[in-house]
């Protein structure tokens, strides 16, 4: 009993203290207004005498008149705190805040009628006077960061008021103060009292102060917390009564928010979403809380019907999804997650436009036929709605991936899908929503059954037989839903038939692929393959029967080939799968030749890139799968046939570039097949493998450079691939010169056959690649490739001379005199050839390289070759070297003189010809 009186005394003291503070505040405010009024009256210019008879003065006292003017002035000053006044148009223009008549000649009614009422949400006032300047919407009460900085005390005060009610409820419960009925009653009286006080202030001042709005928002939070605690903590009232009261408070708060402004909406909505967290509770059933959150969401969306603000929509969506995530973290009442998300999506769809049947048509009018126009939204509300529904669908997909429950999958996960498909049927701004839902939901089924093994590989987790049956039921229902929606829209002549048809024909194939992968043990592989093949044949047949050549026909053709590909993947072994996929290139080329379409050409290019990637990266990425030589040859033949069938210039050249790539791969694999007795892939890095890698990477790099000139949209990608492959070829060539060089590695065996041995492929063939790159590759790399070709030629000839004399490159064998002189002779011939060709063609770099090699050769002859010679051999050696140098110099001088004479003759004949 003592505690009860103590609480009542504290409440009474707080009320008395509030009254005293408010009284003193009003007293000083009135004094300030009176002083300001007196100053304004002294500053007024004298009135001009008018010949028009003035109307009789109303019988009001001077005190009443000053009080009315003080009321008007207070309203003006409050408006100036919310909206910054604009400067007057001219210096002679009268003050817009006052009439030109004297205050004594005006009645109380005229003063009140001319007081401007600004919309707290920033809209124009009702019936504005011509001379009254009203500020724009965005300056009235900003709800962004600037408003938060300027009115931080307002936000903090409203939040403290709301928290005080919540903490008072918790404290009274924890301390056992009063009974549950008394706590609820006092809380309701406190919230209603604060609301009444806030509304009285607004009506009294005729101005939407942010501080008053914050007080109303705190009062709403108090009412939310008290009413919800009556059910969630005490179970005093029946659920229907509690939800009805919550709905009434929500609607009332949103109605007051229209009058008080965005501060009440922001504080009220945020606090309402946070109330269940502040109250706490240990109940395992969160269904009442979810219903409460749905009521708050509906009230906030109802406010958005009258007030369009982006932050209001974001706040509502964030509150809805935050409670979904808290539900996932708690692990309680998860069976209501699907229904909660479905009802949330329904509220977002219906309440802002009062479209409760979801059958109100919404047209989409793009200005022109383009991707940008197709993705454009006519209004911000449509864009917000689409983003919100996609995020809600993403939440359901995450729920499926994290906590798959196959026992009630049909009832948990299907209602939201049916709702979205039905809503998109009448709303063209949601045209991409079915595709988005399909990608998210089907992807969630895949992610739910993936796990990582100890080798960091992704594998599917097997399902129990009962779970496999439930998965098949779910996939069947989803497929029927998408198919029915597509059929329904096509029968009603929708605006985007190709978009609708694409999802309708691809969904069965996606469901078949998932059923085979996740529940394939129930049936044999041939059944899944046959079902997929029948779907593909049905789509191809329907496309051929379609008289109209449009994008819908292209989608049917694409779906038909996808069904064939899925059947080949299910039934065939990996060795023949690539060849089976390549067979589609021929049919696609034939269909594209009959009816050119960007979709078919894109599918063809994607298929060819997939085949090229698999055949090129086979030894490194997919080592567990075997690929025969027939796959390389067959893919090459099929792509060549497709390039001959299709006669369009751009696509035909693109197919020819792919054929060159396949030709290089086929030749390399053919040589590997011959060298390794049918074993195409050796799983260790040897001299032979490095040799073939240099040739393959260099050749494919040149092929990609050729394809970069033919590519439409992949020019940069092909050019990057060519640079990367040529760099890999050069680095691999350096490996052959160092660590895998037979001269330094005695374990490498070479054939004793002169010239035609491993050296020809390892060190001779790359010279040809370097020469081709130096002739036709990018200009900035040509000098480097010429240098590689020259150095490679010198190394190759030197190694061949060593192999010719010794039969191997082993450094353990002694060097004979004839071998030593052979090096000098060969180098001298190479230097002479380079000098002469460089002089003849005026290739300065080749001439300089020849001179450098000549100097090296002369140094070798003087320092090494002639060091052991005596007598006539030394005389003959010096004589031969001198004659060679003199002859080389003579030829060089003769060619220079002849070139000079020719140039002089051409210069002399030029004026004559003119």
Label residue 45 left, alpha or beta by phi (over 0 means left) and psi (-120 to 50 means alpha): beta
> Which two three-digit tokens encode residue 622?
């997919």
Nearest to 183 by CA among 158, 165, 210: 165
Start-to-end C-alpha separation, the chain: 128
User: For residue 867, what pLDDT is reported?
Assistant: 62
Q: Evaluate if residue 417 carries a pLDDT over 90.
A: yes
pTM above 0.75, yes or no: no
Residue 625 confidence (pLDDT) = 63
**Residues 690 and 736 sit within 8 Å (Cβ to Cβ):** yes
pLDDT reading at 275 higher than 80:
no
pLDDT band at 173 (very low <50, low <70, confident <90, very high): low
What pLDDT shows up at residue 172? 54
- What is the mean predicted confidence (pLDDT) over 9-16? 46
* φ, ψ at 557 (rounded to 5°): -65, -45
Q: What is the mean pLDDT of the chain?
A: 74
**pLDDT computed for residue 479 by the predictor:** 94
pLDDT, tens digit, for every residue of 628-674? 788 888 899 999 898 888 776 677 777 877 887 888 888 878 877 87
The pLDDT assigned to 709 comes to 80
In this prediction, residue 415 carries a pLDDT of: 93
pLDDT at residue number 164: 58
Output the pLDDT for position 127. 39
pLDDT tens profile 109-125: 443 334 444 556 655 43
- The pLDDT value recorded for residue 109 is 40
| Least trusted range by pLDDT, from 369-383, 478-492, 538-552 | 369-383
pLDDT at residue 148, rounded to an integer: 45
**How large a percentage of the chain has pLDDT more than 90?**
13
Confidence of residue 914 (pLDDT cuts 50, 70, 90): very low
Q: Who's near 241: CB < 8 A, 6+ residues apart? A: none
Report the C-alpha gap between 822 and 800 in whole angstroms.
11
Instruction: For residue 362, list its beta bridge partners.
Output: 427
Q: How far apart are CA 819 and CA 799, in angstroms?
A: 11
pLDDT value, residue 478: 95
Whether 405 has a pLDDT exceeding 60, the answer reads yes
For the ranges 111-115, 413-417, 801-805, the maximum mean pLDDT occurs at 413-417
d(CA 783, CA 781): 6
Mean pLDDT lowest among 181-195, 432-446, 562-576:
181-195
Please check the confidence at residue 83 and state whether its pLDDT lies above 70: no
Buried b (16+ CB within 10 A) or exposed e, 144-163: eeebeeebeebbebbbebbb
% of the chain exceeding 70 in pLDDT: 67
Identify the CA nearest to 479 among candidates 527, 424, 521, 442.
442
The confidence score (pLDDT) of residue 88 equals: 38
- Give the pLDDT band (50/70/90) at residue 134: very low
- Burial of residue 863 (CB within 10 Å: 0-12, 13-18, 19+) is exposed
The pLDDT tens digits of the residues spanning 685-697 come to: 778 878 888 888 8
**Tens digit of each residue's pLDDT (9 = 90 or more) over 495-519:** 888 899 999 999 999 999 999 888 8
SS3 label, residue 243: helix
Q: Taking the mean position of all CA atoms in its chain, how far away is CA 465?
A: 37
Of 136-140, 220-224, 461-465, the least confident = 136-140
- For residue 210, give Cα distances in angstroms to 32, 71, 140, 813: 21, 19, 11, 99
Lowest mean pLDDT among 286-290, 804-808, 816-820: 816-820
Q: Is the pLDDT of residue 336 over 60?
A: yes
**395 pLDDT band (50/70/90 cuts)?**
very high
Q: Rounded mean pLDDT of 753-768?
A: 86
pLDDT at 151 over 70: no
Selected residue with higher pLDDT from 542 and 408 = 542
* Average pLDDT score over residue span 743-753: 77
Taking each helix axis from N to C end, the angle separating 551-571 and 525-545, rounded to the nearest 10 degrees, works out to: 160
For residues 278 and 764, the model is more confident at: 764
Q: CB-based contacts of 399: which residues, under 8 Å, 6+ apart?
A: 324, 328, 334, 337, 338, 341
65's CB contacts (< 8 A; 6+ apart) are 103, 104, 106, 108
Model confidence over 829-848: pLDDT tens digits? Answer: 888 888 778 877 778 788 78
CA–CA distance, 703 with 660 (Å, rounded to integer): 7
Across the range 715-719, mean pLDDT stands at 80
Residues 338-354: what's their mean pLDDT?
A: 93
Which of 289-298, 699-708, 767-776 tops mean pLDDT? Answer: 767-776
The reported pLDDT for the residue numbered 422 is 94
Instruction: Give pLDDT, residue 159.
Output: 52
Give the CA count within 13 Å in the CB-facing half-sphere of 443: 12
Q: 569: burial class by Cβ within 10 Å (0-12, 13-18, 19+)? A: middle
pLDDT tops 70 at residue 906? no
**pLDDT (tens digit, 9 = 90+) per residue, 434-486?**
999 999 999 998 888 776 554 445 566 777 888 888 889 999 999 999 999 99
In contact, 213 and 258? CB cutoff 8 Å: no
For 152, 574, 844, the CA distances from 629, given in Å and listed in that order, are 75, 13, 47
- pLDDT recorded at residue 293: 87
Task: Name the 3-class secondary structure at 595.
Answer: coil
Residue written as tokens 């909660």? Answer: 340
According to the per-residue pLDDT averaged within each range, which of 91-100, 217-226, 605-614, 887-896 is highest?
Answer: 605-614
């Amino acid at each position: 009993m003592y505690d009860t009186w103590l609480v009542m005394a504290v409440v009474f003291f707080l009320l008395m203290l509030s009254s005293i503070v408010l009284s003193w505040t009003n007293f000083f405010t009135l004094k300030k207004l009176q002083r300001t009024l007196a100053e304004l009256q002294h500053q007024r210019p004298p009135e001009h005498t008018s010949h028009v008879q003035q109307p009789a003065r109303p019988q009001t006292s001077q005190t009443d008149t000053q009080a009315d003017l003080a009321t008007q002035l207070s309203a003006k000053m409050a408006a100036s705190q919310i909206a910054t006044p604009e400067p007057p148009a001219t210096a002679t223009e009268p003050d817009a805040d006052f009439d030109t008549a004297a205050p004594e000649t005006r009645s109380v009614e005229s003063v009140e009628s001319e007081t401007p009422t600004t919309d707290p949400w920033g809209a124009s006032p009702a019936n504005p006077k011509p001379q009254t300047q009203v500020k724009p919407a965005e300056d009235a009460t900003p709800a962004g960061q600037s408003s938060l900085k300027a009115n931080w005390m307002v936000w903090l005060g409203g939040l403290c008021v709301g928290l005080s009610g919540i903490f008072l409820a918790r404290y009274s419960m924890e301390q056992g103060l009063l009974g549950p009925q008394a706590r609820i009653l006092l809380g309701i009286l406190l919230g209603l009292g604060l609301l009444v006080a806030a509304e009285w202030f607004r009506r009294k001042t005729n101005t939407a102060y942010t501080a008053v709005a914050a007080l109303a928002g705190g009062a709403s939070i108090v009412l939310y917390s008290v009413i919800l605690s009556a059910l969630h903590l005490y179970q005093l009232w029946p659920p229907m009564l509690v939800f009805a009261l919550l709905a009434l408070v929500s609607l009332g708060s949103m109605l007051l928010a229209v009058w008080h402004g965005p501060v009440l909406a922001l504080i009220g909505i945020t606090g309402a979403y946070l109330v269940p967290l502040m109250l706490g509770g240990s109940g395992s059933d969160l269904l009442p809380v979810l219903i409460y959150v749905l009521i708050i969401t509906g009230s906030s969306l109802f406010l958005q019907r009258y007030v369009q603000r982006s932050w209001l929509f974001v706040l509502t969506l964030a509150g809805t999804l935050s409670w979904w995530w808290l539900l996932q973290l708690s692990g309680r009442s998860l069976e209501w997650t699907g229904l909660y998300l479905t009802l949330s999506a329904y509220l977002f769809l219906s309440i802002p436009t009062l479209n409760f049947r979801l059958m109100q048509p919404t047209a989409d009018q793009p200005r022109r036929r383009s991707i940008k126009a197709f993705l454009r939204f006519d209004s911000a509300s449509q864009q917000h709605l689409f983003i919100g529904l996609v995020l809600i669908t993403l939440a359901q997909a995450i729920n499926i991936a994290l906590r798959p429950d196959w026992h009630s999958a049909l009832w948990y996960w299907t209602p939201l899908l049916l709702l979205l498909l039905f809503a998109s049927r009448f709303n063209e701004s949601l045209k991409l929503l079915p595709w988005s839902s399909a990608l998210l939901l089907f992807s969630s089924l895949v992610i739910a059954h993936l796990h990582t093994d100890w080798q960091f590989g992704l594998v599917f987790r097997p399902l129990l037989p009962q779970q496999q049956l439930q998965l098949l039921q779910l996939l069947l229902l989803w497929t029927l839903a998408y198919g029915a929606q597509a059929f329904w829209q096509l029968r009603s002549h929708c605006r985007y038939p190709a978009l609708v048809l694409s999802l309708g024909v691809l969904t069965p194939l996606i469901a078949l692929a998932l059923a085979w992968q996740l529940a394939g043990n129930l049936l044999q592989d041939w059944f899944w393959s046959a079902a997929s093949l029948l779907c593909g044949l049905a789509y191809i047949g329907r496309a051929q029967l379609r008289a109209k050549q449009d994008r819908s026909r292209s989608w049917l053709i694409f779906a038909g080939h996808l069904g064939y590909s899925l059947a080949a993947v299910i039934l065939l072994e990996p060795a023949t799968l690539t060849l089976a996929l390549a067979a589609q290139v021929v049919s696609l080329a034939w269909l594209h030749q009959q009816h050119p379409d960007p979709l078919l050409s894109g599918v063809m290019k994607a298929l060819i890139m997939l085949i090229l990637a698999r055949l090129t990266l086979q030894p490194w990425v997919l080592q567990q799968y075997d690929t025969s030589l027939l796959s390389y040859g067959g893919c090459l033949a099929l792509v060549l046939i497709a390039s001959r069938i299709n006669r369009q210039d751009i696509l035909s050249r693109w197919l020819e570039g792919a054929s060159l790539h396949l030709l290089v791969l086929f030749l390399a694999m053919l040589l590997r097949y011959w060298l390794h007795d049918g074993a195409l892939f050796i799983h260790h890095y040897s001299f032979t493998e490095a040799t073939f890698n240099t040739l393959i990477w260099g050749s494919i790099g040149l092929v990609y450079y050729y394809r970069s000139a033919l590519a439409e949209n992949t020019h940069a990608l092909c050019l990057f691939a060519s640079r990367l492959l040529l760099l890999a070829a050069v680095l691999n060539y350096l490996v052959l010169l160092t660590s895998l060089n037979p001269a330094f590695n005695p374990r490498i065996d070479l054939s004793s056959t002169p010239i035609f041995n491993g050296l020809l492929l390892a060190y001779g063939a790359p010279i040809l690649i370097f020469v081709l790159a130096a002739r036709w590759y990018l200009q900035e790399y040509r000098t480097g490739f010429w240098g590689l070709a020259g150095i490679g030629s010198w190394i190759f000839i030197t190694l061949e001379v060593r192999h010719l004399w010794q039969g191997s490159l082993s450094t353990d064998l002694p060097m004979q005199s004839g071998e030593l002189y052979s090096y000098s002779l060969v180098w001298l011939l190479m230097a002479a050839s380079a000098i002469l060709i460089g002089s003849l063609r005026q290739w300065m770099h080749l001439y300089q390289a020849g001179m450098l090699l000549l100097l090296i050769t002369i140094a070798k002859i003087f320092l090494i070759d002639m060091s052991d010679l005596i007598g006539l051999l030394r005389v003959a050696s010096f004589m031969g070297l001198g004659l060679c140098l003199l002859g080389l110099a003579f030829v060089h001088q003769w060619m220079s003189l002849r070139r000079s004479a020719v140039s002089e003759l051409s210069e002399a004949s030029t004026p004559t010809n003119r």
